[in-house]
Amino acid sequence: MRARGALLPLAAAFGLVASTVFAAPPRTAKAPPPSAPDIFFGYSYTHAGEASLNGIGLSGSLPLGDQLSLVLDLSGHTGSFAGADLDQLGIMPGVRWRFTDGRVRPFAEALAGVARTKTTVDTGAGRVGASESDWALALGGGLDYELSAHWSVRGLFHLRFIHGEGVWDTDPRFAVGASYRFGR
């Protein structure tokens, strides 16, 4: 558990270093402004408890200014562990801070919402299932690498804190995919 707690400072340090190393001057092409709304879709992986879950991530952002945006992050993961099938759905709104405008655009996010987990076990006489919804927080960030005026490749990392059964569980989540920026 302590090793996972070290991931948050590491992610923050990565974001700060990447923002200074990869900072580029604004481009003069007719590209959408950095504050344009965007949408992301891609592969997502999370390590929930002892289970490795694979799935998809979908998010969208609406700018509030040059560097700050509202974000809605949706993720769905599925997998199995110890004979149980697991499905997890996360719905988390929050905010995103962009550090630079250029070909490489690092960002940080803070999200809060709900994680719904469904567990199903085959007992031999039939399948038995249970589901629960828990409060969830996610802190992390990522990097957009611009391919064209509208399209980017995005990689992101979240450290998710899920409150269930009276305790906080810490689950890392990684996602990679494509981002489309609207405008012009």
CB 50 within 8 A of CB 175: no
**Beta partners for residue 171, in sequence order:** 160
**In the prediction, which pLDDT does 165 show?**
81
Helix (H, G, I), strand (E, B) or coil at 37: coil
Average pLDDT, the chain: 84
pLDDT of residue 134: 93
CATH number of the domain enclosing 100: 2.40.160
Domain membership of residue 173 as a residue range = 2-24+37-73+80-135+155-181
Q: Using the predicted structure, report yes or no on whether residue 3 has a pLDDT greater than 50.
A: no
Looking at residue 38, what is its pLDDT? 94
- Give the pLDDT confidence score for residue 82 in this predicted structure: 86
**113 found inside a domain:** yes
Position 143 in a domain: no
Q: Is residue 43 in some structural domain? A: yes
Task: Compute the average pLDDT of residues 11-35.
Answer: 51
Q: pLDDT tens for residues 132-171?
A: 999 999 999 999 999 998 999 999 999 999 988 888 889 9
pLDDT band at 31 (very low <50, low <70, confident <90, very high): low
Query: Has residue 15 been placed in a domain?
Result: yes
Q: Is residue 32 part of a domain?
A: no
The pLDDT > 70 percentage for the chain reads: 81
In-domain check, residue 168:
yes
Q: What percent of the chain has pLDDT over 90?
A: 60
Helix (H) or strand (E) holding 16: helix 7-21
Q: What is the pLDDT of residue 162?
A: 92
Q: Which residues contact 17 (CB under 8 A, 6 or more apart)?
A: none
1 in helix, strand or coil? Answer: coil
| DSSP for residue 82 | T
Whether residue 6 is predicted with pLDDT greater than 60 in this model: the reply is no
Number of domains in the chain: 1
Q: Would residue 140 count as lying in a domain?
A: no
Decide: helix, strand or coil at residue 148.
coil
Let me know if residue 127 belongs to a domain: yes
HSE-up of residue 92 (Cα within 13 Å, Cβ side):
31
Predicted pLDDT at 17: 44
107 or 15: which leads in pLDDT: 107
Q: What is the pLDDT of residue 147?
A: 95
